[in-house]
Amino acid sequence: MRIVIIGAMGVVGSALAKYFDVFSHNVVLNDVMNGPNIETNLASCLGREDMIFVCVPTPSKDDGGINLDIVEQVTRDIGRIARIKKYDPSVVYKSTMIPGSTARMEEILITYGLKPKVAYSPEFIRQRCAFADMLAPSRIVVGSPDEEFADSVMGCFSGTEAPKITFDCYEAAELVKYYANCYYAARISFFNQMKQFADKLGCDHNAIIRAVVEDKTVGVHGSDPTGVPWGGNCLLKDQSAMIKYGEELGVYTRVLKSIQDMNNLMIHKNKFKSSDLTRWA
Ligand SMILES: NC(=O)c1ccc[n+]([C@@H]2O[C@H](COP(=O)([O-])OP(=O)(O)OC[C@H]3O[C@@H](n4cnc5c(N)ncnc54)[C@H](O)[C@@H]3O)[C@@H](O)[C@H]2O)c1
């Protein structure tokens, strides 16, 4: 397979590039930054690929909502180039995007007179061990109303044993990422909250945690007993985007807000620096 990765110098893009390289795909790397084997001119990358993976940033806006400007710009660039080169692109979005975003990107591609194939595939790697996670993913999720294309995207990951979960729409796949990150943040905040009781009582929080997570219905993930608030690039960004999205939809987000309040309180009270928080990223 010939695969173009847009945003190939980033955490997700570079891990994906290495992963595809391991499985002998022919990978073309695009980024706005210069780097080894990077082609900065997107037009020279496109035209002969089987699939394009979009891995560009989706930062927070000032109000906490998600800023899709870069993904949108890249989508317009793909549309423009594909129209000039007269072919219908196949695009897989990996960037974390609020539900409805992939459908919006598909609409943009269609405005260029194209019949694109589009899928959304959330990425679950952790920043601190991106390539190791990419090589041993917990699961591969793909959402697309185009069943055949979803299967082709899954085919790119045939080298991995991980469970493969397909959705017949973009939105469910987009939501998987937000469920996962909000839940992860919730667990960390929950255990951090409980630690305060152990500390007040002079009990060993770590020993309590070990006893609690023996229960398989509780599980161990995110329960490292450190008393460190969550942080890093993604958790706050994704939490905030979901709260903002909830406001737009008229959905109650009180639990999400209190998880964030709890975390902010810990950061300020104990004067944590952002570098202290990346252990969860
Ligand atoms: N970092 C993680 O662990 C992680 C995990 C899962 C999902 N995500 C999501 O994946 C997306 C990318 O995150 P990241 O951490 O890899 O970001 P990053 O900032 O590390 O990398 C993004 C890359 O995109 C490049 N870029 C920016 N604009 C571009 C453009 N117009 N054309 C081509 N390249 C461009 C940047 O130069 C950079 O190299 C985000 O939506 C993020 O939320 C990140």
Mean pLDDT, residues 34-54: 97
Mean pLDDT of the 262-270 span: 88
Smallest CA-to-CA distance from 191 within 281, 241, 256, 263 is with: 263
pLDDT of residue 105: 98
Q: Is 96 in the pocket of ligand 1 (CB under 6 A)?
A: yes
* pLDDT band at 224; cut points 50, 70, 90: low
141's tokens:
């999720």
For residue range 47-83, what is the model confidence (pLDDT) as tens digits?
999 999 999 999 999 999 999 999 999 999 999 999 9
Q: Which two tokens stand for residue 64?
A: 């906490």
Query: Is the pLDDT score of 225 beyond 60?
Result: no
Query: Cα(52)–Cα(78) distance, rounded to whole angstroms?
Result: 9
Distance 211 CA to ligand 1 centre (A): 38
Residues 6+ apart with CB under 8 A from 273: none
Mind listing the domains of the chain with CATH numbers?
Answer: 2-168 (3.40.50.720), 175-280 (1.10.1040.10)
Q: Does ligand 1 lie within 6 Å of residue 174's CB atom?
A: no
Residue 208 has pLDDT above 60, yes or no: yes
Number of CB atoms found within 10 A of residue 123's CB? 23
- Mean pLDDT, to the nearest integer, of 167-190? 94
**How far is residue 84 CA from its own chain's centroid?**
31
Tell me, rounded to whole angstroms, the distance of Cα 29 from its chain centroid.
19
In whole numbers, what is the pLDDT of the chain averaged over residues? 93
The pLDDT value given to residue 78: 98
In the predicted model, what is the mean pLDDT of residues 125-148? 95
Percent pLDDT > 70 in the chain is 96
- Other beta carbons within 10 angstroms of residue 43's beta carbon come to 13
Per residue in 242-254, pLDDT tens? 999 999 999 999 9
Of 48, 21, 51, 57, nearest to 37 by C-alpha is 21
Ligand 1 pocket residue status of 181, Cβ below 6 Å: no
The alpha carbon of 31 and the centre of ligand 1 are apart by a number of angstroms equal to 10
Q: Is the distance from the beta carbon of residue 30 to the nearest atom of ligand 1 less than 6 Å?
A: yes
pLDDT in tens, 94-122: 999 999 999 999 999 999 999 999 999 99
Task: Reply yes or no on whether the pLDDT at 196 is more than 90.
Answer: no
Average pLDDT over residues 203-220: 85
Question: Is the CB of 16 inside a 6 Å radius of any atom of ligand 1?
Answer: no
Indicate yes or no: pTM above 0.85.
Answer: yes
